[in-house]
Amino acid sequence: MLRFLRENKTVSYLCIIMNGTNKRLEEESISLRRYSAQVRLPEIGEEGQKRLLSKSVLIVGCGALGSVAAAYLAGAGIGRIGLADFDTVDESNLHRQVLYGSDECGQKKVALLANHLERLNPAINVSAYDTFANEAFIRKVINEYDFIIDAADNPQTTYMLDRVCRSTSKGYVTAGVSGWKAQVFTYLPGGVDFGALFPPPEEQEGVLPCSLTGIIGPLAGIAACIEASEAIKYLAGIEGGLGGKVLTIDLLGNQFDLFSVE
């Protein structure tokens, strides 16, 4: 009887272990099923997807660039996404900030976008910072993230992020959009940086917002998708990114040009 009880206990214990293993395998299978289309890519595969799930990105700005980039990164399974913005949705934003609705005008973009990402992919973690992303804030949180996306679309923020990322050896991608034209640049630690490529003017010049200069909506979406793609390639260790290069886009003439700057 004693031997029988021990055998039963042993069998039960093994069953628990096996059931636990099966459960973990099932959960992992369900997780990978969500990302199955990109897992099939030889550049990513299961190992690359697991790497993405363990990585984090901070997105500065939740407007036309940041909202679209954030959605694709959430879809791709980036494990943690930080969002920093202090602005509210305005009706004039909606032709290019297509993740927000007319009934959300006046509400905080960062809260709306965080909620959208959590519904899109409940498995990831989202940190929402309802604040102006000044240098003090960026230095406070930057070490929590593996990669930075500059989606603020203003030179002052870009030069500030460039300084901070260089001093902390943090990779980042930045995009600027206006009218029908955009440019995208990725900084790799140790490589050429934005400030060296485009030295800041001695005197700060005012930058007119899109509401005054004008912008075609899809341009921001294209630039944002490239920013998201750059983040994915960097975090997954995939070659072929824009490090040391500038991509320019002219949607009016349907022209894309790539310039090496190293």
* Cβ neighbours for 100, distance < 8 A, ≥ 6 positions apart: 67, 89, 93, 94, 109, 112
Write out the two tokens for 256: 């894309």
Question: For residues 69 and 225, is the Cβ–Cβ distance under 8 A?
Answer: yes
Beta-strand ranges (E) seen in 50-178 are 56-60, 80-85, 125-130, 147-150, 171-178
Q: Can you read off the two tokens belonging to residue 155?
A: 């030179």
Based on the residue annotation, tell me whether 165 is a catalytic residue of this protein.
no
Integer Cα distance of 127 and 58 in angstroms: 9
Strand-strand pairing, 80-85 and 56-60? parallel
Both structure tokens of 261:
């700057």
Catalytic residue among 15, 105, 210, 225: 210
Dist CA 125 CA 127 (whole Å):
7
Q: Supply the residues annotated as catalytic.
A: 210
